[in-house]
Amino acid sequence: MTATGATASRFQRFWLPGLAFKAVVIGGGYATGRELAEFFLPSGPWGGVYAIAVATALWSAVCVVTFALAQTLRAFDYRSFFRRLLGPLWWTFEWAYLALLMVLLAVFGAAAGAIGQSLLGWPPLAGTWCLVAAIAAAVCFGNESVERLFKWVSFFLYGVYALFAVLALSAFGDRIAAAFAASPAPAGARWFTDGLTYAGYNLVGAVVILPVARHFLRRRDAVIAGLIAGPLAMLPALAFFVCMTAFYPAIAAQTLPSDYLLQRLNLPWFHALFQLMVFSALLESGAGAVHAINERAAAAWRARRGDELPARARLALAAALLLGSIFLADRIGLIALIASGYRWLSYGLLTVYVAPLLTWGVWLLSRAPAPAASFHPSTADSPRMP
């Protein structure tokens, strides 16, 4: 059991939600650079920067509304949240999320396998199995275990990205400058639609991390945390994207753009450190995504049985999700999963989550009082909305 909202620290109220959101969205494609190559490089260096700005703004806006509505409803798992937002159609989100989760876990597994193969010469499934074991261990102990993971991995991740940017700018800063100088201002709206699409399927992260909303004391906390969340999640991506432009457009075809850059830096010690960071990012992303399912199951368990979901049940549910994703990752591969699966799931989640949230959800917030939140293990006492 975590601390009540009344004892939540400023870190838990303002920074933890953004770090948790970053943990979910960084995933297998962002951390390896594959998503950045897929969605941002096609518009060129400047178009990619514009697309990143679009995604950042949309992430912050949706996080603000999601966090504020969750705090008002005291809905700290996605099932409780969507039962209030979508009413009898709440299950449409769950099906969309389960489909996305399987793709996400498959991407994480494929990326972990590629890392193990690249760094240690392992068979692809060896790295995937290591990731599965680590995620299962992280999520079986509940909220506090997952939140500690978000915190400590974030420190490691930001430090490695900062060092990577310094090393890359020193090694091929002239190529980066030349790429931006040769890139015209983007014509058309592809950069906008790519930024919107990329943001769309990642927006589910705002709902996935609803367990941290229990720390908010008031609506103002939710708004501040939401505004911070977008930049916290996207600043490493911006630094990584700028470094990638040194080898634009060839880098766009690489399965692991990060590995492509690291080979050109020719620093074996940093190559190993960066790959360890990517694996850590995969771990926190996978843990956040699976933890959301566990918390949804835990809320239903409490409502029916009046006690907490056992750790062994959390472990069994996580294992079932993770093992199913292994076969998807092994059969399809990383590039195909990101290029095909993500876009269609993005459109579905925009329909069942973002559109209702920014219309009906905003109306509910405008009509509802802003209660001071305190932690409740269930949402049975949530205030009724108009």
The predicted-structure confidence for 119-138, as pLDDT tens digits, reads as follows 788 887 788 888 889 999 88
Residue 379 covered by a domain: no
Residue 307 scores a pLDDT above 50: yes
**Count of Cβ atoms closer than 10 Å to residue 371 Cβ:** 14
More confident residue, 12 or 307: 12
Give the C-alpha separation, 112 to 84, whole Å.
37
Residue 147 covered by a domain: yes
Residue 320 covered by a domain: yes
Residue 374 covered by a domain: no
Total domains present in the chain: 1
Task: Give me the pLDDT at residue 377, please.
Answer: 45
Residue 385 covered by a domain: no
Residue 380 covered by a domain: no
Question: Over the stretch 230-260, which tens digit does the pLDDT of each residue have?
Answer: 999 999 999 999 999 999 999 988 877 888 9
Question: Per-residue confidence at 383, pLDDT binned at 50, 70, 90?
Answer: very low
Residue 378 covered by a domain: no
- The range of the structural domain enclosing residue 144 comes to 8-182+190-367
Give the C-alpha separation, 207 to 362, whole Å.
16
User: Considering the chain, what is the average pLDDT of its residues?
Assistant: 85
**Cβ–Cβ under 8 Å, residues 248 and 154:** no
DSSP per position, 270-288: HHHHHHHHHHHHHHHHHHH
Q: What is the mean pLDDT of residues 171-181?
A: 94
CATH number of the CATH domain containing 331: 1.20.1740.10
Task: Give me the pLDDT at residue 323, please.
Answer: 80
Question: Per-residue confidence at 386, pLDDT binned at 50, 70, 90?
Answer: very low
Residue 105 covered by a domain: yes
Residue 263 scores a pLDDT above 80: yes
